[in-house]
Copies of this chain bind each other. A is one copy, B any other.
Amino acid sequence: MTVNEVYEKVMTIKSINPLVKNVEYAVRGKLAIRAEELKQELEEGKEYPFSRVVNCNIGNPQQLNQQPIKFYRQVSSLCDNPDLLKKENYHLVSQLYPTDAIERAKKLMKSIGSVGSYSHSQGVPAIRQTVAQFIKERDGHPSDPNHIFLTQGASSGVQTLLSLLTENSNSGIMIPIPQYPLYSASLALYGATPVPYYLNEATGWSLDVDQLTDVITQARKEGTDVRALVIINPGNPTGQCLTAKNMEEIVSFCYQQRIVLLADEVYQTNIYQPEERPFVSFKKALMDHPIPEVRENLELVSFHSISKGMIGECGRRGGYFECVNLDSQVLEQIYKMASVSLCPNVHGQILVDLMCNPPKPGDPSYESYKQEIESIYESLRRRSKKLEQVFNRMEGVTCQPAQGSMYLFPQITLPPKAVEKAKELDMAADAYYSLAMLEATGVCVIPGSGFGQKEGTWHFRSTFLPEEHLFDEFCGALEKFHKEFIEKHT
């Protein structure tokens, strides 16, 4: 055979799918990669001004030692090892597991068969029924299990819908700025047109429906076929919660403009001002809408996940989406796409069942379950408040409180010298700041430029997930860094 003198690779950065090249994803981008390197170097004994890397770039609570909810893990482990459910092991197992965990595992195994089998592509039917019941109890309106799709985390569900909505490169999807970069990344991948609308920082990242109207009008004038509106509520990275009144306006807007509403509601239990800003689902907002034509027609898809809330089971990749008023032929297409991936992983599905049907008062596990959930919740609330105050004390930093979610998104005024220095290095100024923070403190945040922000403003997103007993130290390190950074660049 002939040997080529110079073998040019088939797959090069020039020859691959150009849409893939366009994708940007800051949550696990350059800073996160540098953080991994630092971790490695620390392990190898290299000296840094900090003893460990703290990943505040991603809402990954158990990575920062948040303890899993025991009942969930008990049921899941029993499903994994069905030998534990055998009669002959009961005398031992009953000393390790509460009876309601055992009963729940038996019930689940009856409908699942084996966690090692592919399930129904849409998710185990009995689990979809649990989800429908949960939605009904939450909203006071019925839900159809046949219109619920279990997924590998909310992300994969969002991607399914965005892909489906993309008829061609002219198909437009309205996304908030700042946004969770899954949306911009996926639109880049499918080649659709992002149609950005801005959240108003000064009023706590509120959403102004008049602005939505201006944006859609302008986009349509420019020829974009606007098809859907993405709302992240509670907000990511911005943490705001919408009021029921605002939501009714949004629903009306979508109906009048004839666009699909995609509601990312994965932070629905991360609510820190429950009196003033309780969580209201868009399903409820739609079903409570005064006009029957709106209730009967507006296409809504809402997404939920086991990764957030007080559960934080990110690594299992579980979630669901509920479709309301979708065309039956479109539902068939969604089912077909789900079937190509065979099924969402069954362990993730089990957690969806448990999230939607936790222990109830009177159950043997209820008291400890309640105590675990409340303790995580109260701690998150305290930490969100403390970090917000720390940010607001820093020179040139302002930070809106987190009404919900797991993040704060402070605005930073950077000295001209820092902006210049960043330019020299061909970096966004907030990326320069965030990298300096990482190198000085080991704390990894994400620059605002990864989420989008108003031209000329700079931000970063940080979780407030570091452990509470280390939280003061964490805050102190950030304050010290900021002071020194400002001094160095003034």
- A residues near B (Cβ < 8 Å) are 1-4, 7-13, 15-18, 20-21, 23, 25, 27-29, 32, 36, 58, 60, 62-63, 68, 70, 73-74, 76-78, 80-84, 89, 92-93, 95-96, 113-121, 152-153, 155-156, 163-167, 182, 185-186, 189-190, 227-228, 252, 255-256, 258-260, 291, 293-294, 297, 299, 307, 312-317, 325-327, 329-330, 333, 336-337, 339-348
* Contact (Cβ within 8 A) B27 A62: no
Q: A36-B120, A114-B315, A339-B25 are in contact. Are A11 and B330 (CB under 8 A)?
A: yes
* Contact (Cβ within 8 A) A12 B330: yes
* Contact (Cβ within 8 A) A256 B1: yes
Contacts of A32 in B (CB 8 A): 339
10 closest cross-chain pairs (CB), A and B: A77-B81, A28-B339, A315-B346, A77-B80, A62-B116, A317-B345, A7-B297, A63-B117, A62-B114, A13-B329
Q: A81-B73, A96-B84, A113-B63 are in contact. Are A293 and B7 (CB under 8 A)?
A: yes
* Contact (Cβ within 8 A) B336 A23: yes
* Contact (Cβ within 8 A) A345 B342: no
Contacts of A260 in B (CB 8 A): 10-11
Q: A62: shortest Cβ distance to chain B, in Å? A: 4
* Contact (Cβ within 8 A) B329 A12: yes
* Contact (Cβ within 8 A) B256 A63: no
Contacts of A8 in B (CB 8 A): 258
Contacts of A299 in B (CB 8 A): 9-11
Q: A315: shortest Cβ distance to chain B, in Å? A: 4
Contacts of A153 in B (CB 8 A): 341-342
Provide the bound-state CA to CA distance between A258 and B330, in Å. 40
Contacts of A155 in B (CB 8 A): 340-342
- Select from chain B the residue with minimum beta-carbon distance to A73: B81
* Contact (Cβ within 8 A) B326 A118: no
Beyond contacts A4-B258, A345-B348: 15 other A-B pairs, Cβ-Cβ < 8 A, are A11-B227, A11-B327, A17-B165, A17-B166, A17-B167, A25-B339, A28-B342, A60-B117, A63-B118, A92-B95, A115-B316, A116-B315, A117-B315, A152-B341, A317-B342
Q: A93: shortest Cβ distance to chain B, in Å? A: 7
Partner of A62, one of B113, B252, B326: B113
Partner of A114, one of B15, B27, B63: B63
Q: A455: shortest Cβ distance to chain B, in Å? A: 26
Partner of A11, one of B10, B312, B326: B326
* Contact (Cβ within 8 A) A81 B74: yes
Provide the bound-state CA to CA distance between A84 and B68, in Å. 14
Provide the bound-state CA to CA distance between A116 and B315, in Å. 4
Q: A315-B119, A345-B348 are in contact. Are A339 and B27 (CB under 8 A)?
A: yes
A-B contact pairs, 26 of them (CB 8 A): A2-B256, A4-B293, A7-B297, A11-B227, A11-B330, A12-B327, A13-B327, A13-B330, A16-B167, A17-B167, A17-B190, A20-B333, A23-B337, A25-B336, A62-B114, A73-B81, A76-B80, A76-B81, A77-B80, A83-B96, A92-B95, A115-B316, A118-B315, A152-B317, A316-B345, A317-B344
